[in-house]
Structure formats: structure tokens, C-alpha cells
Chains A and B, each alone.
Chain A
């Protein structure tokens, strides 16, 4: 107990001393942060200082074992570090799908040799990873994916295309689901493989969304040679890794904005809407809608806490990630809808002017994707009804 409170004090002191002021400000856009990679760019000097300090402290991924480049912190210590970083508003020093997505999969499914090779590179920000799951004809029905990997002696030859690959045009490597058995049932013939995007035959094309911008791309593989040792886990059992990562991804998307410093809807409403003599929003209908939304928003946060606390006592159901994903994204969609309503016609401004940065309309459009990406809301409801409620399939 005492050791932990010493750790908290030391952590707080260290963060105060080492986290530059500008690294304690909310993130403005995805390129206001450091992503690492072969062509790494620090957009500010403070970003560089912050990343290097944290790397030296081994706190880029504080909870991984030291042999993999982590800081070897216990879960309790890591919680304290997270709390102290949140308290100070410290940004993450490195944004990386390697840390949040690939790393956990490697820790669970890769060989020791693969872990020792890839994990330290993730920590050092040397590789910018992207994810290749969905295909033009395999969206909700992900397991029907058709990108094929043909065995050719010491390598696989990969042909096909992936869609919704975030930042594929900037990434160095991609972790991919490919079909390795064409006779087996659809779930049984999938493998998980790592591909260098610099390989011959890989190309990307950005996808523009209704919000006007997007990190998404299409990624094409035309007879790309990939060494056999890049396969993770057992051949044809990649679907297990996919399920593991999807669960992980859903928790991330469901928790969107969790640590964001953002205004509550009612605060925006008070700044914009007419107020009556009692100091309340005159539009009673909108007022009720905001109050109703904020009830769910606050209770959803409590639910994340409750289920996290239950998981610590060993009560855990992976299918609950579908509930988080479903509810969290639906809430964000409602939030964007309400922000548009309370901001009136100013919310419609698309191109930046003196009244608005055009952010609201674009965020509204972007939120429409929340209930589609990472498995649609309908897919999440299917999973809840099958895996949690045990309702039968035909």
C-alpha cells in the first residue's frame, strides 16, 4: 500500500517535471500527435522531447515485460500512471495500432522469437502498423474474406484487396487476415500474417468519407511475396486471433472519447440556446432530450467501471465488448445529433469561417461510421443475443 502511494508521488513528480506544457493540451486532430514509423515526423519539438523522455523511462508501453521493451509495471502501478497522466492531461507519447491492437495479439499468439523481434520495435515507434481485415465483399460477414495466400516453398504469395485499412498510405507494415485453405469452412481456412508494405505488389488508395476527410484506404496485394515466418499463430487458425482482436477493437471504439477533455452537451446548449427567466433552456423538448442523453452518458461510464471491477474478480464475459461497442457508438451518434441541434444553423457550416471551424458538421458525418466500423450495431446485437442471451439460430 505504502509502496503504491510512493509510486504515485514519484510518478506525479516525474510527469510534472518531464511532460512539456504543450503535451498536456487536448489533441486537435490525428496529426497533432506522434505516430512513429520509418518516415517518422515530430510535428513539434515538444512531441520529440516527450516521446524520448517516456522512451527512456520505458513508459511508452509501461505494462509490457521489460524484455519486450516495456516498463514491467504491475497492473496497479500502471493504473496509477494512467490516472496521473489523465489528471495532468498528458498525451500519449506515441499513437500506435501496434500498441493497442497488434501487441496484445502477438503477446497471446506469437512465438517467443516473434515477440522479441516485433514488440520492441513497436515500443520504439519504428514501425507504423495498420490492420487489414475487411474486404470489399467481406464487411459484416468478415469470415468470407477472399484475399488468398498461396504456399510457394519458403514464402506465401498474396493476392487480393483490403478495405477500411486506416492510415495504410502512411503505414510501414500491415497485419492481415488471409485465406490459406480454400476447401475448409469459411472460419477454418483463415490465417494471420504480417506484411511489409514496402514489398513489391502492395499499393494503396485513400478513401474519402462523407465527412470530407478520413484516414481510411483501400489496400491492394498483387502477388506479394511474404516470408513464411511472418505467419502468427497456427496456420488456418487465424480466426481465433481475429476474434480476439475484434473484441479488443470494440472495447476501444466503444470507449471513444473516454479520456477526451470535452464539453458536456448541456454546456454547449447553455452557450447557444435562449435561456428563460429561471435560467433554464427555454426549449423544453430539447432540454429533456439533453438531460435524457446525459443520464445515459453518465451511467454508461459507470457501467464501464462496474464491468471492469467485476472483471478484476474474475467475472468476465468477452461478449460484453459487443455491448460496449454497441452502446458507446450509439451514444456518440446521439451526442453529435444533439450538438447539431443545440448549435442551430451554425452547426451546418462546412468550410471554416469566422463563425465556425466547420468541425461540428464533419464530426456529425464521421459519427455515422461509428455504428458501422468494427462490426455494425446490428452485428453487435446478434452477438449479444447469441452469446450472452443464448437465443437460438435457425
Chain B
């Protein structure tokens, strides 16, 4: 398969770019922050749902578009460029994918309609403590008659204060089990965290929360395999957003180098800056390739999809740090003021590069995958 996007995917990307630039640009994100850290604009979310973006990766038999992750990735890249706030990552990239991978058909038929419509909002409750990992969870789900009792604390739950359901990763006798848990159940305690990207995250404590067995997402399916597949999607999807951040921060900076004048000359004439710009360009070229490859690998069910996902998250995690650091430095004093938008890219980059494992995590995982 050619490593380029199709005409249809290109059309989707272009329309996403157009809509987000018009309705959810960086200044909109700034406005949401200034209104007491609003999580997202619900009018925008309704429009996103009406355009079918919420249905992109949902199978046709559930009235989804079955358009694939390359398509969703194009939209996430554009949200990265505009720093647009919406539950696309929490509810669609993570929530809808968990449900799609699941073998619980009853739950799929029940939840997908609301997800597509935008009224049901899912998010993933995976992380415990300060670091991303995908093995040995402290959150336990103990069978009790027809039900399970869930106990444990989850952190870094994206949009955790507005979600209607949590996809909770737990363990039963060292085996991973994944449940869909309603946010309003008794024993669910949600505490809000505002992070440096002005985003809303939550720590969630499940205190003897009783969940009926029909809410188990993996019935026959092996829980750790399900989580593996979900992480492949998470790594690649967040990498797509990071690609958008890299490109936009880079382009804003190049533009600044062409406008700012010091010592009577445009600063972009200085070779010290030109070479650093050219190095950033080169690294971003690599980023474009691996993000697309990782997204295609998911849609094609490529046996190496997980490795490509690790490669994407590692490369983008490293590059986005370099690019946003350089962007601030090359902007000089204005770059560290709140008036300039470039700082928002630095701050979102720092959060997104830690989501689902930073560069160090994926470098280690890749070495382990190759057996060294």
C-alpha cells in the first residue's frame, strides 16, 4: 500500500482544517481557558457529531462510517494544529475504539448510537499513579454473584469530569478485565485536575462500585490483548495530534523568522537559525511518515501495527519537545508571554507527549520488542 493518503482522506482532512480553523482555533481555546477552564464548546461538539466525525471508526452495522483510523488521524492532526478542544480523543479515539474491539455485542448495540450522536461521552480510565504502563493494575474487579465489585484509583482520565461512562481497566486474578462503568454509579468519586494544557483531567476512585456482568467489555476476548490493541490506537492517534502540533508550531516560527527584524536585518537571514529550522524540517518529515504508517497499519490489521505505534509515539514525543522548545527560543521574549499563542503549543505538547507513555517509555518498549 502506498504511503500517502487517499483522495477521500484528503477531503476529510481539508474539511477538518477548514472547520477547526473557523470554529475552534487557538484563540477559542484561550477563551475557554479564560472562562474558568471550560472543557469544550458543546456547540462545536454537536457540529462534529453532525459531520459524522464521531462515527468515523464505528462499523457500518452499528450505523458508523467505517472510514478507518487514517481518517480519524487526519482530524486529530488538525485538532493539534488548532489546539481545538473536544472529546474526540477521550470519547472517540479511546472510547469508541474500546467498544469496537470489544466482543460484547449487546453493549455495542446499546452504546454506539449515543456515541455517534455525541450525547454519550466515554473516556478511558487506565493509568494508576504517575506513569503510563499496561501491566499489573491495582484496580481490582471481584466477581460477586451476577455482578463485579470494582475497587481502585485511576489517574489522568481525560475529560473525566464530563464523561458519562468510563472504560475501566482492572484485574481479576492477574488477568486484565475491562468494564464500562457509568459515571453516576454509587462509589465513583471524581476529582478534577487542571493540567498545563488547560485541559480537564480527573483522578477517579472506585470504592466498591457494583457493576453488572453485562458491562464487561471482554467476554471471550483476552483482556490484555484487547488493551494491546487499544493502546496501538491510542499511541498512533495521540501521535497524529502531536504531528499537527509540530507542524503548526514550526510554521508559526518560520513565519516569525521571516518577519522579525534585529540589528537591521530579518533574523531569518542568520545561518544559526536557518540550520536549526532545516533540522526541524527534516525531523518533521520523518514524523509525517511514521504517523501515516502507524495509522495505516491499524486499518490494515498489519502484524507490526504495535511496533509502528510505538515508533510513532517515540518519534513524535521526541520531536514535539524539540520543535516546541525551539519555537519558544526563536520567538525570543514574546515567546514566553501569555499574549503569544506559541506557548500554548509548548504546554499542550508537554501533556500530550506524556499521555500513554513519553519518549523514554516507548524507546524502552521498542528495544524490548526487538529483544535487546
User: What is A's interface to B at a CB cutoff of 8 Å?
Assistant: 266, 269-270, 279-281, 287-288, 290-292, 294-296, 298-300, 302-303, 305-307, 309-310, 312-313, 320, 323, 326-327, 378, 380-382, 384-386, 388-394
Contacts and interface: CB of A to CB of B under 8 A. Distances in A.
A291 B364 contact: yes
B271 interface: yes
A287 B278 CA distance: 28
Given A294-B366, A384-B281, A388-B281, A313 B4 contact: yes
Given A323-B281, A393-B269, A381 B372 contact: no
Contacts of A303: 285-286, 288-289
B363 A391 contact: no
Nearest to A278: B368
Contacts of A378: 275
A394 B263 CA distance: 12
B312 to A, nearest CB: 9
Contact of A296 (B258, B278, B286, B360): B286
B7 to A, nearest CB: 10
B265 interface: yes
B26 interface: no
B274 interface: yes
B257 A391 contact: yes
A390 B269 CA distance: 10
A290 B257 contact: no
B264 to A, nearest CB: 10
Contact of B4 (A287, A306, A382): A306
20 contacts: A279-B371, A280-B367, A281-B372, A288-B360, A288-B364, A291-B364, A292-B363, A295-B315, A295-B363, A299-B290, A302-B293, A303-B289, A305-B289, A309-B4, A323-B285, A385-B274, A390-B258, A391-B268, A391-B273, A391-B277
B55 to A, nearest CB: 28
Interface in B289-330: 289-290, 292-293, 311, 314-315, 318
B372 A290 contact: yes
A391 B370 CA distance: 41
Nearest to A394: B269
Given A287-B367, A290-B367, A392-B268, A299 B311 contact: yes
B363 A302 contact: no
A323 B269 contact: no
A287 B367 CA distance: 7
B2 interface: yes
A74 B156 CA distance: 55
Nearest to B367: A291
Across chains A and B, which 5 residue pairs bring their CB atoms closest together, nearest first? Answer: A385-B274, A384-B278, A381-B278, A291-B367, A306-B3
Contacts of B292: 306
B293 A381 contact: no
A299 B366 CA distance: 13
Majority secondary structure, B binding face: helix
Interface string B250-286: 0000100110000001101101011101110110011
Contact of B289 (A306, A390, A393, A394): A306
A385 B270 CA distance: 11
A384 B274 CA distance: 9
Contact of B372 (A269, A300, A327): A269
A296 to B, nearest CB: 7
B107 to A, nearest CB: 37
Interface in B134-176: none
Given A292-B318, A323-B285, 9 more contacts: A270-B372, A280-B368, A280-B372, A294-B370, A295-B311, A295-B314, A299-B287, A303-B286, A381-B275
A393 B271 CA distance: 9
B154 to A, nearest CB: 28
A281 B372 CA distance: 6
A309 B277 CA distance: 25
A391 B254 contact: yes
A380 B2 CA distance: 27
Given A384-B281, A391-B269, A288 B363 contact: yes
Contacts of A300: 286
Nearest to B366: A291
B286 A299 contact: yes
Interface in B95-129: none
A373 to B, nearest CB: 19
A381 B289 contact: no
Contacts of A298: 311
A143 B321 CA distance: 38
A266 B371 CA distance: 9
**Interface core residue of A279, A295, A382 (most chain B CB under 10 Å):** A295
A323 B271 CA distance: 17
Contact of B367 (A288, A306, A390, A393): A288
A265 to B, nearest CB: 9
A384 B366 CA distance: 31
Contacts of B370: 266, 291, 294
A101 B318 CA distance: 37
Contacts of B311: 295, 298-299
A382 B289 contact: no
A305 B288 CA distance: 12
Nearest to A384: B278
B366 A295 contact: yes
Contacts of B257: 391
Contacts of B266: 392
A323 B372 CA distance: 30
B372 A299 contact: no
Interface in B1-25: 2-4
A53 B327 CA distance: 57
A299 B268 contact: no
B165 to A, nearest CB: 36
A320 B370 CA distance: 31
A323 B289 CA distance: 14
A135 B97 CA distance: 61
Contacts of B277: 385, 389, 391
B283 to A, nearest CB: 9
A326 to B, nearest CB: 6
Interface in B209-259: 254, 257-258
A310 B274 contact: no
B360 to A, nearest CB: 8
Contacts of B254: 389-391
A384 B282 contact: yes
A392 B286 contact: no
Contacts of B287: 299
A91 B136 CA distance: 51
Given A287-B367, A295-B366, A309-B2, A391 B286 contact: no
